[in-house]
Amino acid sequence: MSRKWASRTIILFLIFITAMYWYLFYGADTTIPRALKGTSADPAVFLNEREQEISMEYSKIRNFLFFLSTPYEWVVYIMMLLAGVPRFFERWAKASTNKSILQNGIFLFWISALTLLVTLPLNYIGYRLSRSYNISTQTFPSWMKDELIGFWVNFGLMWIVLTVLYWLIRKYHKKWWLYAWILSVPFTLFLMFIQPVVIDPLYNDFYPLKDKQLETKILQLASKADIPAEHVYEVNMSEKTNSMNAYVNGIGSNSRIVLWDTTLEKLSDNEILFIMAHEMGHYVEKHLYFGIAGYLALSFAGLWLASGIMEFLIRRWGRTFKISSVTNLASFPLFLLIISILLFLSSPISNYVARYEEMRADTYAIKMTKDKEAGIHSFQELTRSGLSEVNPPFLVKIFRYTHPTMLERIQMLENWEEKK
């Protein structure tokens, strides 16, 4: 039975990636609508032929890697289970110590280390791709350092999750998912609170914006929007990337307005103010809190579904997966597999909501700044620096895009006077 599962898994994986390769490289239509030819949304207007060609190449390969890596992760978990690797690590952990919390840590470390080892080649390909297309400026030692930091941060957080989750599963066999969701609410809010001041600085250096005149303009814009901000932070991303970004993150007293130094280098003050007005639009319209509510709603449904699916799979194919009960630590990779699939399947919904909120923030920015040209040029520069597709394939848009396409964003600004 295990061999049948393994062979079928590999066959389905190969069929899927072959179909996605054909779709992305040959089947999808990414041409600009005739009505928009020659407008500011047409990449031929603001990119030269070589830049257009590179952008199309990079986008296709990057999108293919996304659709390759997601099911690849599922294959890794399935093969682990079929080979009995989680059961072996669980026995090893129990033989090493009598303390359950340490058993959890030992088990999780080896599962996490094996997963990192198996997925590292694809991650490295993604890194080399961005380097070859001059998106990434990061050296290999720096990239590897970030990978290891990510490993240990995730390990620490997952150790807490694993320990609490399996304590609940053993104590409340039927309703563990509900209590897990209830505990996830304060845990999620706590992580969002500490992220700007604890987690983010592990990867990059943050410091107050050096351009004090620009900071004054941004804070004046924030004051106009009734946003309680005292500082604007700059982050040194130029040592890692040539792309641009700006964001507001955190909650409560730890919320921060952050600009990448690449954004400061490549955009004018008016364009930066438009970008910051967009970010302030998220704050004013309470998108952060809607996002938290949406995440908690999805996690409620996800945990409920995961509990039922786990029970069914273990009852039906427990021997095949080398799992005798959901209470076994060996069932954790199955839990991760189910959650990953559910997240992927729900991403079109969450991405649609995110794109709606981003368009609302764009609308807020143009209303606040009344500078259409600054908005259009900033989107054109974002496209150039990130080698983004202006009009991506449909499946790429619904599964990957948390922002409207550049075609939609620039077109909205072009039509602003008419809408107004």
In contact, 318 and 402? CB cutoff 8 Å: no
pLDDT of residue 392: 93
- Structure letter (DSSP) for residue 74: H
The pLDDT value recorded for residue 358 is 93
- Would you list the domain boundaries of the chain? 52-420
Q: Is the CB of residue 251 less than 8 Å from the CB of residue 189? A: yes
Kindly give the pairing relationship between strand 206-208 and strand 232-235: antiparallel
> Could you confirm whether 362 is annotated as catalytic?
yes
* Mean pLDDT per 10-residue interval, the chain, length 420 residues: 85 95 92 86 87 91 94 94 93 91 94 94 93 91 92 94 94 91 89 80 83 85 76 84 81 75 89 90 85 89 94 91 91 95 94 94 91 91 88 94 92 76
403 has binding-site annotation: no
> Contact at 8 Å (CB) between 393 and 64?
no
pLDDT at 396: 95
Q: What is the reported pLDDT for 229?
A: 67
Question: Does pTM top 0.85 for this prediction?
Answer: yes
Give yes or no for a contact between 292 and 240, defined as CB atoms under 8 angstroms apart: no
Picking from 128, 143, 137, 156, the residue whose alpha carbon sits closest to that of residue 58 is 128
Contact status, residue 200 vs residue 212, Cβ threshold 8 Å: no
Q: Given this model, what pLDDT does residue 227 score?
A: 75
Q: CA dihedral defined by 397, 402, 408, 414, rounded to 10 degrees?
A: -160
Q: Which of 279, 357, 389, 408 is an active site residue?
A: 279
Give, for 259, the enclosing helix (H) or strand (E): strand 256-260
Confidence (pLDDT) at 419: 57
Distances (CA, A) of 212 to 209, 215, 235, 329: 7, 5, 15, 53
> CB neighbours of 307 closer than 8 A, spacing ≥ 6?
176, 177
Answer for the pair 72, 10: CB distance below 8 angstroms, yes or no. Answer: no
Q: Are 215 and 274 in contact (CB under 8 A)?
A: no
**Under a CB-based contact definition with an 8 Å cutoff, are residues 84 and 418 in contact?**
no
DSSP 306-346: HHHHHHHHHHHHTTTTT-S-TTSGGGHHHHHHHHHHHHHHH
* pLDDT of 193: 80
Gap between the Cα atoms of 115 and 69, Å rounded = 13
Structure tokens at 215: 């900071």
Residue 278 labeled ligand binder? yes
Burial class (CB in 10 A: 0-12, 13-18, 19+), 416: middle
Half-sphere CA count of 224, side-chain side, radius 13 A: 16
Q: Is 235 helix (H, G, I), strand (E, B) or coil?
A: strand
Answer left, alpha or beta for residue 139, where phi above 0 means left and psi between -120 and 50 means alpha.
beta
Residue 392, sorted as left (phi over 0), alpha (psi -120 to 50) or beta, turns out to be beta
Tell me if residue 205 is catalytic: no
* Catalytic residue (choose from 73, 215, 362, 371): 362
